[in-house]
Homo-oligomer: A and B are copies of this chain.
Amino acid sequence: MRTATMTVDKAYQVAQTDDRLFGSFIEHLGRAVYGGIYQPGHPSADEDGFRRDVLELVRELKIPLIRYPGGNFVSNFFWEDSVGPLENRQPRLDLAWRTLEPNTFGLDEFARWTKKAGADVMMAVNLGTRGIADACNLLEYCNHPSGTKYSDLRRSHGHEEPYHFKLWCLGNEMDGPWQIGRKTMDEYGRISEETAKAMKLIDPTIELVSCGSSFRDMPTFPQWEATTLEHNYDYVDYISLHQYYGNLNQDSSDYLAQSDDMEEFIHTVVSACDFVKAKKRSKKTLHLSFDEWNVWFHSKSEEEDITQNHPWQKAPALLEDQYDFEDALMAGLMMITLLKHADRIKIACLAQLVNVIAPIMTERDGGAWRQTIFYPFYHASRYGRGMVLGTAADAPVHETSTHGEVSDLVSTAVWNQEEETLTVFAVNRNLEEDCRLELDLRSFEKCVPMEKLELAGFGLKEENTASEERVRPQSLTDIRMENGKAETVLKKASWNVLRFHL
């Protein structure tokens, strides 16, 4: 068996994780809202029509932050349509997904739902078909206490207290040709600068996210980042990254190598930010909001048929990727990559949360269940908070078709000082060979293995279903400790969480 060695030293500190790294995303898209988190009449629905079975799984994931209401949906979102007495709300055409938005669940309902879910809202303003004044009105509605036109409108709707949403997206994927009201680099730089400036006058406690490129292969990446930030740098706090991966070529080894691309993507965005920082002679360092990430490729063709040929349905099943075991490994690899950059990435949103490319699925007349990708995220959210430590690893490599030689091992370590635990997350993405891991933990003197959580031994295409959760972790005790060194075996194609008490 091949061997990897790794040193985790408490002196090599990357950064304390921001809780918001474990955020997620609910868009008005498919069955995320209607039939997802909200389904009046469902047996599990509470007095607000919120599904209790879904809420339970959401709480299980300990999601601190949920992005809303889009995504592409936001670029033609008229928030006024979504508030006020239900009998006055009118359905609207959602142009992003070409479905019918009934507006029976809106801004105020979402605020209520997140309260029950224990999460904060990451709100977005529409910079596709609207501008500064509309963004300001929405912010006033949400965050201003009272005594003004829009704050009093909120109060008249029964919401006396402001929501104090702290985090706001300045539009969504504004570089994308698919975006309603797409902007050029300079157009977006300008509108985001002026909107940001005005919004911070209304509420200086908010933080703003500038739209970065929609994904790394956009033709304008990374010039988009540099040009837009040159306009709005002084007024924004984060720049967004979005990325989805998929096993498009039925080449699992090469598929799992894509987390290395994600490394490069993050590196380039950091570079663009710091280039602009220098050019502006600014003292402010911009952070990253990786506010859409996941595996997404299973559902693409079906969803196109609905969008193109059967539009204007209410909450049709869209983007309902059915994930398999290798997707769980990929989600785990992405989560580890995010953690490794906790010094610059302060926000990340698993896209999305329910039904739509989601860890949590619902049956219309049945229950809610966990997809394979649920678990790596669950483990990270439960055990991945704390001080991320740099890991010095020496691991075997394997050859891939388009990524060349890549490391078998992708890993990171998080030291939770309060709970006195150390957690090592590691994926063995070699599909053929197990790997012995020798872990040097000598800087942690009283280190005691607690458990090893493992996802392994499944067929790569194994899926979970509503009735059977085939892919689920098991808790093992096969970590051997000696002389400050821990040793265990990382099985081929495995997700591993090594937990130690300090």
Task: Contact check, B198 vs A95: say whether CB atoms are below 8 A apart.
Answer: yes
Q: Is A436 an interface residue (CB 8 A)?
A: no
Per-residue interface assignment for chain A, residues 74 to 96, with 1 indicating a CB less than 8 Å from any chain B CB and 0 otherwise: 00101001000000001111010
User: Within the assembled complex, what's the spacing in Å between the Cα atoms of A312 and B81?
Assistant: 28
Which of A183-216 touch B at CB < 8 Å? Answer: 184, 187, 190, 194, 197-198, 201-202, 204
Task: Contact check, B132 vs A81: say whether CB atoms are below 8 A apart.
Answer: no
Among the listed B132, B136, B181, B197, which residue makes an inter-chain contact with A132, where contact means beta carbons less than 8 Å apart?
A: B181
User: Within the assembled complex, what's the spacing in Å between the Cα atoms of A198 and B147?
Assistant: 36
Among the listed B128, B148, B182, B197, which residue makes an inter-chain contact with A93, where contact means beta carbons less than 8 Å apart?
A: B148
Residues of B within 8 A of A78 (CB): 133
Task: Contact check, A198 vs B149: say whether CB atoms are below 8 A apart.
Answer: no
| Contact A181/B202 with A129-B132, A136-B95, A147-B100 known, Cβ cut-off 8 Å | no
Among the listed B91, B130, B201, B312, which residue makes an inter-chain contact with A95, where contact means beta carbons less than 8 Å apart?
A: B201
Task: Contact check, A92 vs B181: say whether CB atoms are below 8 A apart.
Answer: no
- Identical chains bound together, number: 3
Q: Is A346 an interface residue (CB 8 A)?
A: no
Which of A274-316 touch B at CB < 8 Å? Answer: 308, 312
Residues of B within 8 A of A37 (CB): none
Q: Is A164 an interface residue (CB 8 A)?
A: no
**What is the distance, in angstroms, from A284's C-beta to the closest C-beta of chain B?**
16
Which of A104-159 touch B at CB < 8 Å? Answer: 128-133, 136, 140, 144, 147-149, 152
Which residue of chain B has the shortest Cβ distance to A194 in the bound complex? B181
| Contact A152/B202 with A76-B133, A147-B100, A181-B132 known, Cβ cut-off 8 Å | no
Q: Is A351 an interface residue (CB 8 A)?
A: no
Q: Is A447 an interface residue (CB 8 A)?
A: no
Q: Is A98 an interface residue (CB 8 A)?
A: yes
Q: Is A180 an interface residue (CB 8 A)?
A: yes
**What is the distance, in angstroms, from A146's C-beta to the closest C-beta of chain B?**
10
User: Within the assembled complex, what's the spacing in Å between the Cα atoms of A194 and B177?
Assistant: 9
Which residue of chain B has the shortest Cβ distance to A200 in the bound complex? B95
**What is the distance, in angstroms, from A411's C-beta to the closest C-beta of chain B?**
44
Which of A389-442 touch B at CB < 8 Å? Answer: none
Tell which of A130, A180, A187, A201 has the most Cβ of chain B within 10 Å: A201
User: Within the assembled complex, what's the spacing in Å between the Cα atoms of A177 and B181?
Assistant: 25
The 10 closest A-B pairs by CB, nearest first: A90-B149, A129-B133, A95-B201, A129-B132, A91-B148, A180-B198, A181-B194, A93-B148, A132-B181, A92-B149
